[in-house]
Amino acid sequence: MRPLLIAALSLGVAAPALADWQQTLDTARGQTVYWNAWGGDARTNAFIAWVGAQTEAKYGVKIEQVKLTDTATAVTQVISEKAAGKDAGGSVDMIWINGPNFLSMKEQGLLHGPFAGDLPNAKYLDLGPDAAASVDFTVPVEGYSSAWRLARFVFTYDSAVVMEHPKDMAGFLAYAQANPGRVTHPDVSNFMGATFLKQALVELAPDRTALQAPVTDAAFATATAPLWEWYDALRPLMWREGKTFPENQSVQQQMLNDGEVDFGVSFDPASAAGAIAEGLLPDTAWVFVPQGGSIGNISFVAIPYNAANREGAEVVANFLLDPATQAHQQNIDVLGSFSVLDPSKLNADQTALFAALPSSPALPKLEDLGPTLLEPHASWMTKLVDAWGERYTK
């Protein structure tokens, strides 16, 4: 047994990956990590490209982003490879994953790990059992995925056009009654459209604590009754009478910029400021959250059990947690996503990186976003999307 590992064990420290990190770096050099990630946001794609340039320069690890429209595509690929007996050399090295997709892979034993807590830069995270970086849609992560960006559901609007925006999800009905055809949401097959429904579900449910447990037919019927009543009234007043929807948030943002609808949606509070800087929204664009708060979560990356370039994926996951990377990511001129790191774990120089970041009039402060509403258990999202499809597309 190596001296470093003996020392770790003698201190009661379970840190084999830390002890072997140099070996991980050595094995990773020369690997190309196929990172399967949603490709619907240009700023995110550019950030992933930047990460790849950095990891190649520092560690000899390249990144090829496999741009997805639906994360389930990558999950299905791993399932297919397992069914074919391909337990090594898989084509998916890393997945940007959350919610039902993470739960599905975890339950089927399709994930490499636990690895996340042993990454060297995990020391900057709060990994307590109830911490945001330890739980994904109420499901304990248990080291099978690693945090990389903070997300909050927000609405975007043009303050020069909309004098008074809805104060909550129920208020969208009154707005649509006064302004027919001006409200829409992304298709519910897209996670942003599903989140629009989940936000309404959380606000309207008689008992939102029921949403934290795995869904049952009885609980679903009770919790969604007010949601369907609201949506039944809203749908015919929506853009194109709710018969068709923008493919994703980027398409809806373009519709907002073109004056076709009055609201956009995003899981990034900096989205409006970033779009203004790129000339994709007018200077009068702003974001708001419902007055009771909005759904929030942490985005994770996971490594399939059969990943061909597992070591390279761990190197990338670790690089994403470097304080300098997180500060670069939070830069409004880059991505603007709030850091997942615990500020109390940063030293003075690392803290200064965040303090020096540029701001924007359209960039809300963290306190402006109000309370973070808990994501429902992942099983609720699956059943909600299926039920919406049954009610409104058949």
pLDDT one-digit tens code per residue, 5-34: 333 333 333 344 455 899 999 999 999 999
Whole-number Å distance between alpha carbons of 21 and 388:
46
258 and 264 Cβ atoms separated by less than 8 Å:
no
* Domain limits, CATH 3.40.190.10, in the chain: 3-148+298-363, 152-296+370-392
Flag whether the pTM goes above 0.85. Answer: no
pLDDT value of position 145? 97
Which one-letter amino acid corresponds to residue 104? S
Positive or negative, the Cα torsion across 204, 210, 211, 214? negative
The residue ranges of DSSP E strands in 237-390, in sequence order, are 264-266, 285-288, 294-302, 372-373
> CA–CA distance from 212 to each of 97, 137, 141 (Å)?
19, 8, 15
Per-residue pLDDT of the chain (394 residues; tens, 9 = 90+): 333 333 333 333 334 445 589 999 999 999 999 999 999 888 899 999 999 999 999 999 999 999 998 899 999 999 999 999 999 999 999 999 988 899 999 999 999 999 999 999 999 999 988 788 888 888 899 999 999 998 889 999 999 999 999 999 999 999 999 999 999 999 998 889 999 999 999 999 999 999 989 999 999 999 999 999 999 999 999 999 999 999 999 999 999 999 999 999 998 888 898 899 889 999 999 999 999 899 988 899 999 999 999 999 999 999 999 999 999 999 988 888 888 999 899 999 999 999 999 888 888 877 788 888 888 988 998 999 999 999 998 7
> Which CATH architecture fits 152-296+370-392?
3-Layer(aba) Sandwich (3.40)
Under a CB-based contact definition with an 8 Å cutoff, are residues 369 and 269 in contact? yes
8 A C-beta contact, residue 270 and residue 337 = yes
Measured distance CA(263)–CA(386) in Å, rounded: 25
Q: What is the dihedral of CA 124, 129, 135, 138, to 10 degrees?
A: -160
Strands 154-158 and 294-302: unpaired
Strands (E), the chain: 32-38, 62-68, 94-97, 135-136, 139-140, 146-152, 154-158, 264-266, 285-288, 294-302, 372-373
pLDDT at residue 14 in the model: 38
Q: Give the distance, in angstroms, between the CA of residue 294 and the centroid of all CA atoms in the same chain.
A: 14
State the pLDDT at residue 131: 83
Which CATH code is given to the segment(s) 3-148+298-363? 3.40.190.10
Contact 196, 166 (CB under 8 A): no
Most distant CA pair in the chain, distance = 73
Q: What number of other Cβ atoms are within 10 A of residue 15's Cβ?
A: 17
Whether the link from the prior residue into 114 is cis, omega within 30° of 0, is yes
What are the distances in angstroms from CA 268 to CA 88, 147, 254? Answer: 36, 16, 16
pLDDT 10s digits, 272-290: 988 998 899 999 999 999 9
- Beta strand extents in 204-293 (DSSP E only): 264-266, 285-288
Output the pLDDT for position 8. Answer: 34
Tokens of 388: 């919406």
Determine the pLDDT at residue 18.
Answer: 54
Residue type at 220? F
Q: What angle do CA 91, 93, 98 make, to 5 degrees?
A: 115
Residue 10: exposure state from Cβ atoms within 10 A (0-12, 13-18, ≥19):
exposed
Judged by DSSP in three states, 373 sits in strand
The one-character DSSP state at 135 is E
- The helix or strand, by DSSP H or E, that contains position 21, with its residue range, turns out to be helix 21-28
What are the backbone dihedrals phi and psi of residue 84, each rounded to the nearest 5 degrees, phi first? -85, 0
For residue 152, the cross-strand partners are: 296
End-to-end CA, the chain = 62
Look up residue 170 and give its amino acid.
A
Are 55 and 62 in contact by the 8 Å Cβ rule? The answer is yes
